[in-house]
Structure formats: structure tokens, C-alpha cells
Amino acid sequence: MTLRKIIHIDMDAFYASVEQRDNPAYRGMPIAVGGSPEGRGGVVATASYEARKFGVRSAMPSKRALQLCPSIIFVYPRFDVYRDVSRHVRSIFQRYTDLIEPLSLDEAFLDVTLDKPGIGSAIAIAQEIKQAIRDELQLTASAGVSINKFVAKIASDMHKPDGLTFIGPSQIESFMEKLPVEKFFGVGKVTADKMQRMGLFNGADLKKLSENDLVQHFGKAGRFYYRIVRGLDDRPVQPHRETKSVGAEDTFPHDLTTLTEMDPELDKLAQKVASRLEKHQLKGRTITLKVKYHDFRQITRNHSTPLPISDADTIATAAKQLLAKTDPETEGDKIRLLGITVSNFGEEHRPETPQLSLF
């Protein structure tokens, strides 16, 4: 069996770095790309590293960002520019491999096992890609190099910005053992809290449980955790995966019984979905609400709009109307999970997938 060579590349403070590159006045300054502080419901899409020092983060309300960092400069996003940069980055990747799986405008997995350019090592390929991005776009990216997607993705985040982190086959087991459970990609806050309450703080703790134990406590995901803590992840890099839906869901620590509790949760979910849609540059016409009850019954309700939508307010309103149709305050119907998905993107809103015809 030959080991694969996987690179995960993620641009550093993507929108903010593009704005700082194109506007010398923003360089070295705390900036936030996103809505204005006066604007209703404005949120930060991303912040420059200078602003992150003050605690400003993606998805934070602009008002909060201004409190944390009074000198912050708000910049309106220029999506057409980010899309062009993303295309250029993609064309750089294509010099090194045909197996590219974009996750969003600024992030992709590359399988370089074949070593198309004959460079000899995945680390050297990652270095060349970073250098090309710097030379041709005056931007920096961070790369993670390993033998599977899971580890490569965590690695790319370890030495941001401008990082390159290699985690070789012999290091994976000990790396996974030390990894805190909340860093496991795919482990949400509720699951992480549950793990911690069970005394499971890192990969080594998870490893003590049998596959059966894990499945009993965490359902289907348990099987994934069992394999991943052993460094086993054979998911292929999928070049033509198309985003068919964008969603978010939350399992609540306490079951919800009243609309007063449910409405703010739907607002939060809608906000998350809206920022994910924005990140993928998508608008959809179908909104689906998922409701799971304390006894594991699950229902979905959906609604299609004449025009594609992507903003948080419209998504939240539609989700609340769908929820109302389920008689959510019915006696005994305690709600454990709510989820919102937007789909039905249509031809004109296809995400950035590499074109087959280019190679």
C-alpha cells in the first residue's frame, strides 16, 4: 500500500489580506471586512491579523468588533475580486495536480501523490505553491502536508499565517493523541462538552474507548472518531464535488419547549447559514427546517421562494414560518435539535469547481 500525499491550503485572513494588498492605507491596520457598524445586523466576515489581536473574529457583530477595537476600519467586501483571486490560486494548484477539492473560495485539498511536475516531495510542492501565490498575487497562504485530509487540514491551521506544517506518518499517532477533542474537525461544541463531561479531553482519551462504546455515545460519528484517532482517514480528495446544500444545526444541552427559546436559536442558525452561503458565494431557493425531538423522532419541512436568497433575516423568517407549521409548543414535544439548510442553487450560482476542460 502506498501512502498518499495530501496538502491542505488555506489563505491567510483572506478577504482582509486582499483589501490590505489593494489599499496601502489599510496595511498594518486593524480592519474588518463586512457590514458597517451602523448597519442592522452587520457582521464581520473576516478581520486582519492586527484586528484579531483585539479579539475580533469572523461572524462577530460589527458593533461588538467596534467595542473591542475602537480604531477598527470597516471595509465593504468586493466578492468579484475575491473570486478572481480564488480562480488564480486554483490555476496555480492545477500546475501541480489535477486532484483538487475546493472547500470554499480560500481553501482546498490537493492530492499530490502522483507528483505531476516531478518535484519529488509534497513539502517542496507546498513551498512552491506558497511562493507562487506570493509572487503572483502578493498574498500568503498556510499549508498542511500529511497522508490524509483530516491531519492535513489541522496542520494547515497550526502555524498561521504563512505557515507550512508537515505531519509525517510516524508522527500521526502521537499527534492525534495530544489533540484536544474540541480541535477535532467535525466535533461541535455540544459534542466536545459531552466528551469533556465523560473525561475525554484528547485523542488519547478517545482511544481508550472501543468502537462500540463510541458508537453508543456518539452515534454514527463514533465510528469516524474511532478511526480518526488512529490516524485512519481514507476519504479521497474529490475534485468535482458540487455543493448541493449549505446548512447548520445545533443540538441543545436542554430540550426546548417554547418559541421564546426557539426563535433566538433559529436566528443564530440563520446567521451561520448566511455566512456559509456568503463564503461559498451561493444563493438558494429552498429552505429546509429540521426538527429532532427528545425521543429521536425527526421531521423536516421545506419551502421554496421565487427568488434565490442568502441573507440571514430572510432565512430566519422562513425558518420561523416553517417551525410554526409544526405546532412547536405542543405538549410533550420537547425539541432537542434544530437545523436549517438552504439548497436549490440553480445553474447561475454554481460554486467554483475546477473545469474538466482545462486539462
Hey, which residues are catalytic here? 107
Q: Does 11 bind Mg ion (CB under 5 A)?
A: yes
Told to check if 278 binds Mg ion by CB under 5 A, we report no
13 binds ligand DCP (CB under 6 A): yes
The nearer residue to ligand DCP, 43 or 125, going by C-beta atoms, is 43
Contact window for ligand DCP (CB under 6 A) among 114-122, 195-203, 275-283, 287-295? 275-283
How buried is 359 (Cβ within 10 angstroms: 0-12 exposed, 13-18 middle, 19+ buried)? exposed
Q: By CB under 5 A, is residue 10 in contact with Mg ion?
A: yes
Contact between 26 and ligand DCP by CB under 6 A: the answer reads no
Whole-number Å distance between alpha carbons of 164 and 178: 20
Only segment of 8-16, 60-68, 93-101, 297-305 that touches Mg ion (CB under 5 A): 8-16
Considering the complex, state which of residue 31 and residue 151 has its C-beta at the smaller distance from ligand DCP: 31
The closest of 123, 129, 130 to 161, measured between CA atoms, is: 130
Based on the shown chain and the rule CB under 5 A, indicate whether residue 106 belongs to the binding site for Mg ion: yes
**Quick one: which of 238, 259, 243, 270 has its CA closest to 339?**
270
Q: Which three three-digit cell numbers place residue 334?
A: 420537547
Part in contact with ligand DCP (CB under 6 A); list of ranges 7-15, 123-131, 176-184, 238-246:
7-15
Shortest reach from residue 258's CB to ligand DCP, in Å: 29
Nearest residue relative to Mg ion (C-beta): 10
CA distances from 101 to 90, 136, 156, 187, 205 (A): 10, 22, 15, 21, 32
CB 203 within 8 A of CB 177: yes
State the number of binding residues for ligand DCP (CB under 6 A). Answer: 17
Give whichever of 12 and 111 is closer to ligand DCP, judged by the CB atom.
Answer: 12
- Interstrand relation of 164-166 and 141-146 (parallel, antiparallel or unpaired): parallel
Q: Within a 13 Å sphere around the CA of 117, how many CA atoms are in the beta-carbon half?
A: 16
**Which residue reads 507528483 in cell numbers?**
115
Greatest Cα pair distance, the chain, in angstroms, is 66
- Tell me if 101 contacts Mg ion by CB under 5 A: no
Residue 58 contacts which entry, Mg ion, ligand DCP, none (Cβ below 5-8 A, type-dependent)? ligand DCP
Helical (H) or strand (E) element with 299: strand 298-309
Interaction of residue 12 with ligand DCP, rule CB under 6 A: yes
Contact residues for ligand DCP (CB under 6 A)? 10-15, 45-46, 58-59, 106-107, 160-161, 275, 278-279
Contact residues for Mg ion (CB under 5 A)? 10-11, 14, 106
